[in-house]
A and B are shown apart, each in its own frame.
Chain A
Amino acid sequence: MPLVEMQRRTMWFGIVLGLVSLAALAAPRAVVVEGPRATPAAHGLTAPDAGNRGDVIAYARTLDFDTASDAGDTRPLSTPACVACAVGPLATIQPERGTVSLSQAELASGRIIARIVNRNAEGWSDLALTPRDTTYLWVDSLAGSWRMMFVPNRKDAEMVVRPMRIKYHPATGHDRAEARWRISSRTGAVQPWERCIKTGCCEPH
């Protein structure tokens, strides 16, 4: 066989081998990419009340709250429209990592979506914050009405229940849970705001 022919065959063999390798790489061998898991349900639990408070707190402690600074928010809480007033306690809100994967139906059945850590020795009754302790945010829907329940870690402390609304937005590719302190346009008070389902954000009404 002439040398030129051998070189040509070798070149074609190399090209074919390369194409086969690429095809093999692109073959549908499935690999799995993990997205954020949806916040797990509180199995067997209904909305927090005096009877099941301990179980709800135990469930809350099994959840995974994002402690990164850009996932949550820290602020001194404020009284509505109060220039020159003393500041309230310093509070950090941290989202449960899986809220961005929740559907509306899952949220309606009841979930804890965030926790609030009060870093001060004074309480804040509006949001059921007790001194230097943690309060959990439970959200559910009763007969079509959304509500947000502030459940203090301390079982003898009062819970606070607030009506809530969801502001809907298109699904985004952003898979990070986020919780913020926002000023209520209605009352002027600082209140929680969180991306609580794939396509919406929750805030007290």
Chain B
Amino acid sequence: MRVTVTHAAMMWAGLSLFAAPACAQEPPSRVRAAVVRLASAKDRADSVNMVLTRLRPPSIPADTMFDTLPGVGDEQRLMVGVWPRATYGPLAKIQPHRAASYLTDADRDTGAVIARIINLDTVSYAKFNMHPRDTVYWWVGRRHGELVSVFFSSYPGARPWVSNLEIDYHPSRPYYQPIARWIWNDRDEMAWGTCDGGRCCRSAGTALR
């Protein structure tokens, strides 16, 4: 496929690239970045309350905050154990927060929820803080100066689960759409999602010491 363009068109295209973050990529007004400042939480239980209150307000249906389209999220049967000596575990969905591709550095450093994980099965899972028939919110941000993932379960009494956070930079090929997936990392699955347009976040989901 060949497309013919003029220099003028290329100049405008270049300019519009700079303009895009300010206008074209603005999320719908009801879906704001799910920024949650955990540093102000009194204790663990309070941090869970803060996240659940922010992500499950009674006035807004949850599906308006998270993209439920099959192509932008993922649904897989996660593995128990380490491949190749592994068995199938629960069926789990991961869905991106609709504003995840618009986060700023400040949002991410403060901390924001970028995706939710839904356990469709009645079994618990050792990673990602997944309890039976649970919805878990994936928060990324700084904790004691270090970038981490925290998985907040909505299961009654569940504690926050701190895990690693790896960030991939791809400024030359930004994602204009929030995406979340289960990806394979040599011997096990990882959660993967858009942090902002030019970065992607990954987490193994195992507890961080």
Contact = CB atoms under 8 A, between A and B. Distances in A.
Contact of B6 (A30, A75, A180, A201): A30
A169 B123 CA distance: 35
> Which of B10, B79, B84: most chain A CB closer than 10 A?
B84
A85 B6 contact: no
User: What is the size category of the interface that chain B forms with chain A?
Assistant: 20 to 34
Contact of B71 (A69, A74, A201): A201
A185 to B, nearest CB: 9
Interface stretch (B29-37, B85-93, B151-159): B85-93
Nearest to B10: A31
A203 to B, nearest CB: 10
Interface in A138-183: 169, 173-174, 180-183
B84 A87 contact: yes
Contact of B87 (A38, A84, A182): A84
Contacts of B11: 25-26
A50 interface: no
Contact of A26 (B7, B71, B87, B183): B7
Contacts of B10: 31
Contact residues on A (Cβ < 8 Å of other chain), bracket: 35 or more
A86 B184 CA distance: 17
Contacts, number: 95
A32 interface: yes
A85 B76 contact: no
A31 B5 CA distance: 6
A85 B183 CA distance: 20
B185 to A, nearest CB: 9
A73 B75 CA distance: 13
A107 to B, nearest CB: 15
A38 B1 contact: yes
Closest 9 A/B residue pairs (Cβ): A26-B8, A74-B184, A35-B1, A101-B1, A28-B6, A84-B87, A30-B4, A78-B77, A87-B86
Given A82-B88, A83-B90, 5 more contacts: A32-B3, A83-B89, A83-B123, A84-B80, A87-B86
